[in-house]
Every structure is written in C-alpha cells, then in structure tokens.
Amino acid sequence: MTARPQNEDRIPLVQRLDEISRYCRGKKVLHLGCADSPYTQTAIEAGSLLHFELEKIAGELYGFDFDDASLNILRERGSTNLYVADLEHLENTELDETFDVIVAGEMIEHLNNPGLFLDGIKRFMDGNTRLLVTTINAYCGMRFFRYGLTKRYGRNEPVHPDHVAYYSYSTLSLLLNRHGLAVERFMFCDLGREHRPTTPFIIRLFNDVSVRFASQWADGVFAVCRLADSTAVENSVDLEA
C-alpha cells in the first residue's frame, strides 16, 4: 500500500499564492511554465503573472517555458535566466543546476505524459529541494455545481480547453510516489483572492458553500515533495511564521 503524506487528520485549506511565496522567499527557485504562455500579455496587463511576483521575493530565480516568444516578452521587461524547455523532455534542457524550490504551478494537468516530467525534473533536485505541485482539484465543489447546471447533456464542461487530466489527494500522491517523490505536505487550495473580483458571484457562492462544508471540495490541490530516497536537512526550507 502506498504511504500517504502527512499525519494530520485534517488536510489544511490554504491560499495557493501565499504558500508558494512562503516556500520561495529568499531561495534559489526554478519556475516552470513561467511565461504562462499563451496568456503572457494578458497576465501582465492584469498584474497576475506569478513570475513577476517571484522576482520580488526569491533570492535567485530561473524560469522554463516552451514558448520562446513569450519568454522574450519577459526578457523585454528585465527578466533573466529564462530557458526554452519541453517539460516532458527535460533531458534536452541546457541547464545544469539544482534548486532550493521548484514551482510546478497549474501545469501538470496540461501534460500528456506527467511521468516523463516527474522523472525529468529530478535532475534539478538534490536532497534539500522542495518541488511544489499545484493543480485543479478533481472533486472541486463549485465545478460540480457549474457542470450540473449546464445544458447540452454533459457536453459543456467547465474545463480549460488544454486540460487533459484532473487530480485528487489520492491520485496525485500515488503518481508522485510512483516516480520517486515523497509527499511531505498536502493542502487544499481555496479560490484565489486574485480571482475573486473576476469570478461571477454565483460561482464564488458555490465555492464558499463548498469549502465551508468540506475543504476537500476546494478549488485546487497542493503537494510539497522531495526526493524519496534523500535524507534532507531538517531546516532546508525555513518558512515564515
């Protein structure tokens, strides 16, 4: 039987960006999907591009994205250490570094072969690296409500057109474990504060009712991982209180 992460009876409900910031502050960070392609310009104009926020707090920041044109938009705004990378073929990436923290935010649900990504990312990890994986919660309550209220007999799903899979506590933990990663902390993510102003009232209401009743109906899931065969230094990730 696969070992489950953490010993708490209740998995905490958190704000995704707050947790990412706590892990990344002052650290050497690799940000995957850093340009948010093809929505780079839109995210910049909305002030919601995560990479720019990480630049403010990370001690040293690198970024991977598959789209060089989007990376050029970031370069024009002063970002450095940017690399074109196929996350399913990281062996081809011309970078030989390890990192304190690797941020894989909202990208694993886009991958055809997530196992190739998880195997490949380990070349950028050592015994003290923490890999942060966030993704859509397969049991998200507000999406269940929206889906149930749509017409077209189930053909109109509230999903991103590029998503190929959704994950839960059990399935994400198992996938990570199968590829040599140990989950040391797992969290559910509430609807982000940055999204609430642009989210319709009825959808916010569905979300708030869902998480009030059960945190496992939250918007997203968040796994903090390390190499399964490593002996990590206890204070390698020093979080602020």
Residue 48: per-residue pLDDT: 85
Tens of pLDDT, residue by residue over 89-102, are: 999 999 999 999 99
Decide if 66 is inside a domain: yes
Q: Supply the mean pLDDT for the chain.
A: 88
Tens of pLDDT, residue by residue over 176-222, are: 999 999 999 999 999 888 878 888 888 888 888 888 999 999 999 99
Structure tokens at 219: 């918007």
Decide if 8 is inside a domain: no
Confidence (pTM): 0.88
| Domain enclosing residue 189, as ranges | 13-112+127-226
Decide if 30 is inside a domain: yes
Decide if 120 is inside a domain: no
Structure tokens at 145: 């409500």
Decide if 97 is inside a domain: yes
Is the backbone peptide bond immediately before 38 cis, with ω within 30 degrees of 0? Answer: yes
Q: How far lies 200's CA from each of 74, 81, 203, 205, 207, in Å?
A: 30, 37, 5, 9, 11
Decide if 46 is inside a domain: yes
Decide if 239 is inside a domain: no
Domain count, the chain: 1
The runs of H, that is alpha helices, within 27-168 are 40-46, 50-57, 68-76, 114-121, 141-149
Alpha-carbon distance of 61 to 103, in angstroms, equals 11
Give, to the nearest 10 degrees, the angle between helix 16-24 and helix 50-57.
Answer: 40
CB 113 within 8 A of CB 88: yes
Decide if 240 is inside a domain: no
DSSP string, 170-188: HHHHHHHHHTTEEEEEEEE
CATH of the domain at 160: 3.40.50.150
